[in-house]
Amino acid sequence: MLKVEDWAEIRRLHRAEGVPIKEIARRLGVARNTVRAALSSDRPPKYERAPRGSVVDGYEPQIRALLKEWPRMPAPVIAERIRWPHSMSPLKKRLALLRPEYTGIDPVDRFHYEPGEITQCDLWFPEPKIPVGAGQERILPVLVMTLGFSRYLSAAMIPTRQGGDILSGMWSLISAIGRVTKTLVWDRESAIGGTGRVTAPAAAFAGTLATRIQLAPPRDPEYKGMVERNNLFLETSFLPGRHFASPADFNGQLAEWLVRANSRTVRSIQGRPVDLLETDYLSMLPLPPMAPPIGLNSRIRLARDYYVRVDTVDYSVDPQVIGRFVDVVASPETVTVFCDGQVVARHQRSWAKQAVVADPAHVATAARMRQALALDRRQRETATRHHPDGHAVTLRALPDYDALFGVDFDPTPTKASNE
Assign 3-class secondary structure to the chain.
CCCHHHHHHHHHHHHHCCCCHHHHHHHHCCCHHHHHHHHHCCCCCCCCCCCCCCCCHHHHHHHHHHHHHCCCCCHHHHHHHCCCCCCHHHHHHHHHHHCHHHHCCCCCCCCCCCCCCEEEEEEECCCCCEEEECCEEECCCEEEEEECCCCCEEEEECCCCCHHHHHHHHHHHHHHHCEECCEEEECCCHHHHCCCCCCHHHHHHHHHHCCEEEECCCCCHHHHHHHHHHHHHHHHHHCCCCCCCCHHHHHHHHHHHHHHHCCCCECCCCECHHHHHHHHHHHCEECCCCCCCCCEEEEEECCCCCEEEECCEEEECCHHHCCCEEEEEECCCEEEEEECCEEEEEEECCCCCCCEECCHHHHHHHHHHHHHHHHHHHHHHHCCEECCCCCEECCCCHHHHHHHHCCCCCCCCCCCCCC
185 vs 113: which has the higher pLDDT: 185
| 25, pLDDT greater than 70 | yes
Please choose, from the candidates 311, 1, 21, the residue with its C-alpha nearest in 3D space to the C-alpha of residue 138.
311
What's the chain's average pLDDT?
A: 90
Which stretch of 19-23, 67-71, 231-235, 398-402 has the lowest confidence by average pLDDT? 398-402
d(CA 93, CA 80): 17
d(CA 125, CA 138): 11
Mean pLDDT of 96-119: 84
| 387, pLDDT greater than 80 | no
| 419, pLDDT greater than 60 | no
With 0.85 as the threshold, say if the pTM is over it. no
d(CA 317, CA 273): 46
| 109, pLDDT greater than 70 | no
Summarize pLDDT for 111-131 with one digit per residue, the tens: 778 999 999 999 999 999 999
Mean pLDDT of 202-206: 96
User: What angle is formed at CA 114 by the lines to CA 124 and CA 273, rounded to 5 degrees?
Assistant: 55
- Portion of the chain with pLDDT greater than 70, in percent: 90
Residues, the chain: 419
Cα dihedral sign, 368-374-377-381: negative
Residue 338 confidence class, pLDDT cut points 50, 70, 90:
very high
Residue 405 confidence class, pLDDT cut points 50, 70, 90:
confident
Mean pLDDT of 307-319: 96
Which stretch of 41-50, 120-129, 195-204 has the lowest confidence by average pLDDT? 41-50
Mean pLDDT of 391-400: 65
CA distances to 3, 44, 46, 52 from 49, rounded to whole Å, are 16, 16, 10, 9
CB contact at 8 A, 316 and 357: yes
CA distances to 48, 89, 91, 93, 99 from 86, rounded to whole Å, are 27, 9, 8, 13, 20
Residue 136 confidence class, pLDDT cut points 50, 70, 90:
very high
159 vs 7: which has the higher pLDDT: 159
CB contact at 8 A, 98 and 59: no
CB contact at 8 A, 251 and 259: no
